Amino acid sequence: MNCYCASGLEYANCCQPYHLNKSNAPTAEALMRSRYSAFVLANGNYLFETTHPSKRKGNSADSYTKSAKNTKWLKLEIVAAEFDKVEFKAFYLNHKFQTEVLHEKSYFKLEDGKWYYVDGVFY
């Protein structure tokens, strides 16, 4: 099965090892892709754990899971990736079953060998 993050790799050889905590995403882009896949799969625990601790206030693994379950994600497109920034477009269906786009430049932080999502700017 191809990975949800559109890497072209199989899920088992792409985002799944990160989701199973067998390894950490080696780059900000890999983390962003794995977080997209986690949204598709409603893996709230992974989303919570990969959010920088300074940004977790008011969020919980359950809130991530509920949010993810309320969205039908369609595809991911990477626009640009730098060391600690990734601009992407995530396509999803709205409540009227129309395709919409979440266009974001996300910022990440590397701490103790592990990447974390910090925040993003929406377009």
pLDDT in tens, 1-49: 899 999 999 999 999 999 999 999 999 999 999 999 999 999 999 999 9
pLDDT in tens, 64-97: 999 999 999 999 999 999 999 999 999 999 889 9
Q: How far apart are alpha carbons 81 and 84 in whole angstroms?
A: 8
Pull the structure tokens for residue 36: 């997209």
Residue 5: partners with Cβ closer than 8 Å, 6 or more residues away = 14, 15, 33, 34, 36, 37, 76
58 pLDDT tier (thresholds 50, 70, 90) = confident
pLDDT at 47: 98
The partner residues of 121 in beta bridges, in order of sequence, read 105
CA distances in angstroms from 70 to 62, 67, 92, 96, listed in the order given? 12, 5, 11, 13
